[in-house]
Structure 1
Amino acid sequence: MTNTILGNISFENLAREKAEYPRLHMLKPESFKHIEIKNFEKVEKEISFEIGYHRGRKRWCLDIYTHRGIRCDGEIKFFSSIPAIREFIRKEYQREPILPAFNQKSATSNFNI
């Protein structure tokens, strides 16, 4: 049962699992082109990312996928809140991420968002 949908993100809270936190799904990963300078050469990469909630660490996570030609690299970074993820994307990629504002307290009142 989905409690709410905020833009590209849906929260589920399944009572049968007695979850203390929501399941969070991005309906579609955010992707954009990013240019880096490596060895005095411009390198264009396609960056895709998804946010989620890591059950083991009980922290928000950001899955980052870098596509360059046929090669794809992935990494995961952990954060204490979604605003921290937003700030990381701003600093790392000089880009305003397309994430919801999380102003609906009903879906997120018990969570550090």
Structure 2
Amino acid sequence: MPAPNYDALLLLSFGGPNQPEDVIPFLENVTRGRGIPPERLEEVAQHYYHFGGASPINEQNLALIAALKEEFARAGLKLPIYWGNRNWRPLLPDALGQMAADGVERALVFVTS
């Protein structure tokens, strides 16, 4: 059964680094245009490195998407789920581009953060 009035669900989130190599580029993206000194970014990066260099938000979003897909299937709801982040991959513009390519015209947005 299709979702009334919607042809997709977009999970919109802040984003976070997936691995240690992502931390500094992620922080540079988050703080772009704010003139944050590199030394301060390194200080903040240490918080991520302390926990393995990855943000828990990514695994939480993947778990949420899996749970939603399971619930949609149980309910017979045929609604594709897309995921886009403001600050890290998968980035929102990429998700929106894929949605447009897939013909999505009316998406419901679930904002996680």
* Superposed pair shares fold, TM > 0.5: no
TM-score of the aligned structures, taking structure 1 as reference length: 0.26
| Structure ranking higher on relative contact order (CA contacts 8 Å, 6+ apart) | 2
Give the number of the structure whose residues are more often helix, by fraction. Answer: 2
